[in-house]
Amino acid sequence: MKIVLASTSPLKIEACRKAFAKQADLDLLPLAVDSEIPQQPLDEETRKGALNRIRNAKTCFPNADVYVSMENGLFQETQNWFDRAVIAVAVKDETPVFVESKSVEFPYYCVEEARKRGFYSCTVGKVMEEQGLVNHYNDPHLDLCGISRVDLLSAALTRALSSAGII
């Protein structure tokens, strides 16, 4: 099974390998494609970024069996901000299936600091790392909730693959 992952992020590659762990004939191709959204997406931008990645991956590599995209973003609920991933999975030319990961609350003041710097170039994870709240900007989830970003992505991807009838 030829799978295109619309990212070259080591965390997303590991999450993809975990989700497809039982697939014996896995041929995983990580592909750098543009999400066409800010580095720190908000709300609906997150889903749009996941869909853009799928579309751009299909354009770059049209002969895969499955396309996978993972896009983390911030979602505001009342006065709080939550990070969660939107996972998109598409089988060949079919419409993508979307699933969201579990949410992790991010500190409001860190979101506001990242907003001041500009979401096109600054993420809340970077701000949290600078302030000593987390050890790694690309996996603040581990320090904030005790579950790694890889595990959150892998669990959501497994649900998406099941919904799409792939596993």
User: Which CATH architecture does the domain made up of 2-105+148-163 adopt?
Assistant: Alpha-Beta Complex (3.90)
Within 13 Å of residue 162, how many CA atoms lie on the same side as its CB?
A: 9
| 71 or 24, which is more confident | 71
The domain limits of the chain are 2-105+148-163
Burial grade of 92 (CB within 10 A; 0-12, 13-18, 19 or more): exposed
pLDDT band at 12 (very low <50, low <70, confident <90, very high): very high
pLDDT band at 101 (very low <50, low <70, confident <90, very high): very high
What is the pTM (predicted TM-score) of this model?
Answer: 0.95
**What is the pLDDT at residue 156?**
98
pLDDT band at 117 (very low <50, low <70, confident <90, very high): very high
pLDDT score of 24 more than 80:
no
**What is the pLDDT at residue 167?**
83
CA 147 to chain centre: 15
Apex CA 3: angle with CA 5 and CA 93, to 5°? 95
- pLDDT per position as a tens digit, 54-65: 999 999 999 999
80/82 Cα distance (integer angstroms): 7
- pLDDT per position as a tens digit, 32-86: 999 999 999 999 999 999 999 999 999 999 999 999 999 999 999 999 999 999 9
**What is the pLDDT at residue 23?**
84
